[in-house]
């Protein structure tokens, strides 16, 4: 198996160690911040979890579904939290289909540092929209991933679409 090195990821991962020392973890801070602020990457809130954009996405629209409770062990997730996260996953897929029309999705969790978790102290579920041909020569040859969407613009679009679909679902 060939390996593709991405040393720029270590700077990203290390940035959370510095932030975590002052007030818990980045996800716990996001869980309580005002999602209407431009600085917030939160696009939707449930009763027990929230959805936010990844600040360092692998692809445009890369979202994470995160339980409000600070958990590092997936076995500690309650049935209520698990059910809501799966419902939020379904909602996220609907939002992406309406807004971005992806041809597929990567969905998953990296549980623990050894599994590749950049933030291993607070579990989170990644949802990445994918399109045929979205991987080209830039990341393979140039070691550069081009993300063409502006995070703030993407946040506003996603936030609005989550609101519309959530309101439609609540009327059913």
Catalytic center residues: 124
For residues 44 and 34, give the distance between their C-alpha atoms in angstroms, rounded to a whole number: 11
Structure tokens at 85: 């996260």
Taking each helix axis from N to C end, the angle separating 79-99 and 151-171, rounded to the nearest 10 degrees, works out to: 110
Please write down the HEC assignment for all residues of the chain.
Answer: CCCCCCCHHHHHHHHHHHHHHHHCCHHHHHHHCCCCCCCCCEEEECCCEEEEECCCCCCCCCEEEEECCCCCCHHHCCHHHHHHHHHHHHHHHHHHHHHCCCCEEEEECCCCHHHCCCCCCCCCEEEEEECCCCCCHHHHHCCCCCCCCCHHHHHHHHHHHHHHHHHHHHHC
């Amino acid at each position: 198996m060939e390996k593709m090195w991405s040393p720029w990821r270590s700077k990203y991962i290390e940035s959370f160690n510095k932030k975590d020392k002052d007030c818990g973890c980045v996800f716990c801070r996001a869980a309580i911040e005002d999602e209407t602020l431009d600085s917030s990457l939160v696009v939707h809130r449930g009763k027990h979890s929230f959805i936010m954009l990844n600040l360092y996405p692998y692809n445009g629209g890369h979202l994470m579904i995160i339980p409000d409770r600070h958990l590092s062990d997936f076995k500690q997730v309650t049935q209520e939290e698990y059910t809501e996260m799966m419902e939020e996953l379904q909602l996220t897929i609907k939002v992406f289909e309406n807004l971005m029309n992806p041809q597929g999705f990567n969905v998953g969790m990296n549980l623990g540092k050894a599994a590749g978790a950049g933030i291993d102290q607070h579990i989170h579920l990644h949802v990445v929209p994918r399109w045929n041909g979205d991987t080209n020569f830039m990341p393979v040859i140039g070691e550069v991933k081009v993300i063409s969407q502006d995070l703030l613009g993407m946040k506003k679009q996603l936030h609005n679409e989550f609101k519309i679909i959530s309101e439609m679902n609540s009327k059913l």
